[in-house]
Structure 1
Amino acid sequence: MLYRALETLPHVPSITPSAAKFYEKAESSVLASSGFDSQIDGFLGYSEELLDILHQINMKEPTHHQASMNADILLGRLNVIISRDVKQPPRVSISSLSSQAGRDFALCNKVFQQATLIQLYRQLYGLASSSEQIQSAIHTIHEMIENMAQGEPCHTWVAMAMPLFTVGCEAYNEDQKTFILDKIHKLEICIGSLHVKIIEQALKDIWKLREDFGDYEGNLCAEYLLEKLSYNIVLF
């Protein structure tokens, strides 16, 4: 399964009074702390609380109604975390860091937040790659990535497989594809691992299959396409 491979790891809501209650509940939950650490893990490159959201995105709910409520709550919770970290950047679990490394960790965490947002919109709301919400998150990731140290010397870039693959799965025009292939090439330079080549080939195969199906807006979920292609992607 596409996102379950992490293991380090359809409706679009409007802001109605009932939806607002979900966001209030999410905010209360985050502010009160649910036992998950908000600091950036020096190994993962993002926070433990974000990992919990990724895990919950992949949990299957028994009914559509429950899945819808869960999606609203998770979206509210994630947006609260994103807003909170803008106002008060989280600490990194590594004691001594250069200013550049600390900046890269902060950006890496924010990139993972946006990648999680993409997964939530795609998996729980069924939005297409071309949707405004997913494209907005992709644009934000692009801007953040351009401000990170890439390739060698390796720092937080070694942790970037998941967000790069997530963005690649939603790439539906040539500019986006070219951008993500360049970043994956830099990941390969940094890691020097065969699995990066597999990720690159998987993306190319997904893009070709979408073209074969005439899906030029990214309506088909990459998880479905990967299953058809018999890929088992590991993103760590």
Structure 2
Amino acid sequence: MSAIFDGGFVYSSNRLTPVAPAPPPDAELDSTSDSSFSSSQQQASSMQSTQNLNSSDFDLAIPMSVDPLSFMAPSDRHLLQYFMYNASRALATHSLVHQEVCEVILPMAVVNQALLHATLALAAIHRNSFMFNAHNTLGDNGKDDVAHFTTTSIAHLRRELQKPAGDSLGPKLATIRTLFLCEAISGSPTLRTWRSHFLGAKALFSSMEWERGIQDIKKDPSLPFLRRWYNITEALVALTPEGLAEESPDFSGPRSLCGPNDSQTCIDAYTGCTDDLAGALREIGALARERRRRTKGPGLRPQLSEAEFLRMADRLEMLIQGMITRDRSGTAVYNVSGPPGLSVKEFEEFLLCNEAYQHTALIHIHRQIRLLSSDSPLIQDCVKRIIDCVSRIKPAATLSPLTLLTTPLFTAGCEARGTDRGKIIVLLKEMYNHLHLPNMKRALEVLEDFWWASADGKTSWESFSSTFNVFF
């Protein structure tokens, strides 16, 4: 059994163990023969009595359909409908993604209590964003609803994780994904628990791949979708100050700039970026974490010398710049993954979203690995380009790549100067007013606090952010 203990949560996954077969019928025959004989007599008598009744004495009403949500309280049913028609659309980049989420998640949610309550919590968080009072705070009822759904979901999930391995892991991973999203978009000042959910998903994926093999994973239609969520989440977690702390980084270098599969690279409509960019973000995060380790502990034996850090930074920058050139040409990125149905304008907006993440990667290379100052022209050029990319995406209340762009804007905001800060304020406010995702509002609050704290020029983002664990 593997387990993750973090933030008060416990994630565990049992190794595959054969379930003991049921005892043969003969084992219990003697002890139940009398009662079975008596029961048989009663059934025979009942059947005879029924046959003697005239069929006209019955007026059987056969329902034309069965309501799969009849077990739910009216308020919960309303909230699930809110998720389907409102919250899930605000979180989706496109109608194709929204359809995929509904087809994968909702059928599992109606038969799995852990996933159902996590989904209700996510819906309640989005709905509550419309219910702030005059003091810009949420009433106790809204907070209590989210806490109730989340706690109930975790309680059911814990029980499911203790069952013998062998049943589908799809609902468990879908529950963890939804709980992670609850923490990531909630805008709560206490954002520690998102990491425990991420590590829980990591433990389940690792256990599943070790025990069942890739072919068995492909048999569950929900797992490819959940793997896409995990891959981009892992890449973004790698960029946080704590990084992927449990892993030993591989500094063998990034992949070739002109790999054989470059012509097949495509943007994933769910993640808003190319698959190879997600891999590069993980490499950048691993190198940045090693750089922080070397800076904070000069006495530790470093894995890389200063010259090697700079050489790796050069290679990673060349990798990202090569992606930008390729994607701007419009020849290598042939489509967004999934069925056709994108207009030219929609495809251009996904390219802008992807480029915003590419410049986010460059900021991390320059700041975290090269250790350039925030006012470096290389960094400020990336800030301006991120602002430009986001500004060119049409504002929309639902089904927009803007739902993914809090991270690039927040990264740019940490380095922004002068009028660029005002532009980021406008963009985050506009995004929140359309999509009502609380993390957008929270990102702006954190940025404004940081700008005020760093006005003297002595407070860096690294020192300011060390007091809390942010994930936007």
Query: Normalising by structure 2, what TM-score?
Result: 0.41
- The residue matched to 1:111 in structure 2 has which SS? helix
Distance 1:64 1:151, change over 3 A: farther
- Please say if 1:164 is aligned against 2:409: yes
Matched, 1:125 2:367: no
Establish whether residue 43 from structure 1 lines up as the match of residue 288 from structure 2.
no
Measure how far apart 1:220 and its partner are. Answer: 5.5
Choose which of 49, 64, 67 in structure 1 pairs with 2:305.
64
Offset at 1:81? 1.3
Partner of 2:317: 75
Bigger RCO of structures 1 and 2 (CA < 8 A, at least 6 apart): 1
How many angstroms does 1:131 deviate by?
A: 0.8
Please give the per-residue CA displacement for 1:77-105, whole angstroms capped at 9, x wherever unaligned: 11111112222251211331122211111
2:462 alignment partner in structure 1: 223
* Stretches of structure 2 lacking an aligned partner (at least 5 in a row): 1-190, 199-232, 237-252, 291-302
1:41-190 to structure 2, matched below 5 A, reads 41-59=268-286, 60-61=289-290, 62-65=303-306, 66-87=308-329, 88=331, 90=333, 91-94=335-338, 95-173=340-418, 175-190=419-434
Cα 1:86–1:220 change in 2 (3 A) is farther
Residue 8 of structure 1 and its aligned partner are, at CA, apart by 4.5
Bigger Rg, structure 1 or 2: 2
Shift of 1:76: 1.3
> Which whole-Å CA distance do the structure 1 matches of 2:345 and 2:326 have between them?
22
Q: What is the match of residue 86 of structure 2? A: none
Equivalent pairs: percent with the same residue?
A: 25
Residues 89 and 106 in structure 1, CA contact (< 8 A), matched pair in contact too? no
- Residue type of the partner of 2:471? V
Match of 1:22 in 2: none
Deviation at 1:119, TM superposition (A): 1.6
- Judged with a 3 Å threshold, the aligned counterparts in structure 2 of structure 1 residues 111 and 70 are, in CA distance, closer, same or farther, namely same
RMSD of aligned Cα (Å):
2.6
Residue-pair matches, total? 208
Task: Kindly indicate whether the alpha-carbon contact (under 8 Å) linking 2:380 and 2:416 is maintained by their aligned counterparts in 1.
Answer: no
